[in-house]
Amino acid sequence: MDVSRLLLSIVMVMSTSDGSSEASDSSCFNLDQDRYKVIKGEAFYYVPFDLDDPNLPDANITWYKNGPEVMNITTDETHRIHYHGGALFFLNISANDAGHYSARHIEASGECFYYHVKIEVFDETSRENLTYGSIRNSDQNKNIPCPQPVKDTCKTFNGNFTWFKGKNLIPGQHKERLWVNDATKEDEDIYTCLCTWTHNHKVYNSSGSRRLVALEKAVYENVKITSPNTTEQLVKKGSSVKLNCTVYCGINAAWDCEATWLINGNPAKQTDGYNETTKLDIEDPSKRTFSTATLTIAKVSEDDFQHEFKCLGSGFYTVTSATLTLKKDESFTFIIVFLVLGACLILFAAGLVKHFVTDLALLMRPCCPPRRCNKGTIC
């Protein structure tokens, strides 16, 4: 170990924290840490994402493993872990190789950079939890790309691609992309891209997996608001009320279907006495897709009668809205007042008739003269 690397090791030991080092040289830039999960027994070829060209002189970069003691990485190709310039090699990786690795890179201009990577090592049975994301769409033909680190390794070393569905080899598939035509639910599984490549006349394997999820075909339509279907709603001041905003988005259109309420153009806030909940409904067997936003007003205030409540629906293609205002519900009070006044008038009229019955009879006598009877008749 030369003097410069020894001094670097001492600095890194003093500045190591939580398994990763912090550069003490203020002139060096610490770049974001990369993270990778690798299968035990495979090989891993790593080039920092921020490094433009990995083919730089070994003298310009130093790789080391962080830990209780900083361990320098060699350039000797007979070692399982070694580096060439910006590229770090892990060959037949073991559980003991897991950890934090860093590199100090000094460019010709004098600029200094630190690269960091965290390596985690798992066995084959853990592959289901080590996927590079999933392929989820309703396309009839599914395109599964080989994960980027494996693809880059294969291209760099002119390796060969092989594909597996679960643990079963897919014959005749040797490209960086796998097409699953006329995909159905039966095609759902973990698909693994395996690259076989050669380094110093030895053969190594690197792999990466993705999960395929075959969604049913979606038919997106222009968004339609099914509720509210009026522009006004009668409510009582001081009462609690729930307003439903329901929108229809299409068939199996859960991917992009959303309903929400706006109050005077702004989202409802729970602190303002409002509470909004949303749910997505897909009817069986039609797969008609609805989104509903329910706005709960805990206690209707006088201000609520002045607000504009807008039901906003957004889908894959369109956005639409409907406006609702609250009106005071006074119908019950009006009926009570009308009945009370009517009863009072009837009682008042009956009292007048009873009190002035004699006067009324005398008053009406000229209008009703007594009838004359002929002799021999009874009147």
> Based on the domain organization, do 34 and 97 belong to the same domain?
yes
Matching residue, tokens 């009926």: 335
Work out the pLDDT band at 54, boundaries 50, 70, 90. Answer: confident
Nearest C-alpha neighbor of 11 from the set 62, 57, 50: 62
Residues recorded for the chain: 379
> Based on the domain organization, do 155 and 99 belong to the same domain?
no
Q: Where are the alpha helices (DSSP H) in 99-247?
A: 148-156
The better pLDDT of the pair 359, 323 is held by 323
Identify the domain boundary among 214, 236, 257.
Answer: 214
Identify the domain boundary among 169, 188, 214.
Answer: 214
Q: How far is CA 28 from the centre of its chain?
A: 37
Q: What integer pLDDT is reported at residue 254 of this predicted model? A: 85
The angle subtended at Cα 231 by Cα 226 and Cα 237, nearest 5°, is 115
Residues 107-144: tens digit of each pLDDT: 888 889 999 999 999 998 888 888 998 998 878 899 99
Cα 143 to Cα 212: distance, rounded to the nearest angstrom: 9
> Based on the domain organization, do 237 and 188 belong to the same domain?
no
Contact 192, 163 (CB under 8 A): yes
Nearest C-alpha neighbor of 225 from the set 242, 205, 246: 246
- Is 334 within a domain? no
Cα 218 to Cα 366: distance, rounded to the nearest angstrom: 90
Work out the pLDDT band at 12, boundaries 50, 70, 90. Answer: very low
- Tally of structural domains, the chain: 3
Cα 369 to Cα 352: distance, rounded to the nearest angstrom: 24
CATH code (residue 63): 2.60.40.10
Work out the pLDDT band at 346, boundaries 50, 70, 90. Answer: confident
Work out the pLDDT band at 356, boundaries 50, 70, 90. Answer: low
- Is 95 within a domain? yes
178: tokens are 């796998």
Range of the domain at 73: 3-122
> Based on the domain organization, do 117 and 130 belong to the same domain?
no
Cα 321 to Cα 313: distance, rounded to the nearest angstrom: 6
> Based on the domain organization, do 294 and 193 belong to the same domain?
no
pLDDT for residue 11 is more than 80? no
> Based on the domain organization, do 154 and 201 belong to the same domain?
yes
Contact 243, 261 (CB under 8 A): yes
The better pLDDT of the pair 214, 366 is held by 214
- Is 355 within a domain? no
Interacting residues of 311 by C-beta distance below 8 A, sequence separation 6+: 225, 227, 228, 243, 245, 247, 259, 261, 293, 321, 322, 323, 324
56: tokens are 């730089």
Cα 315 to Cα 180: distance, rounded to the nearest angstrom: 28
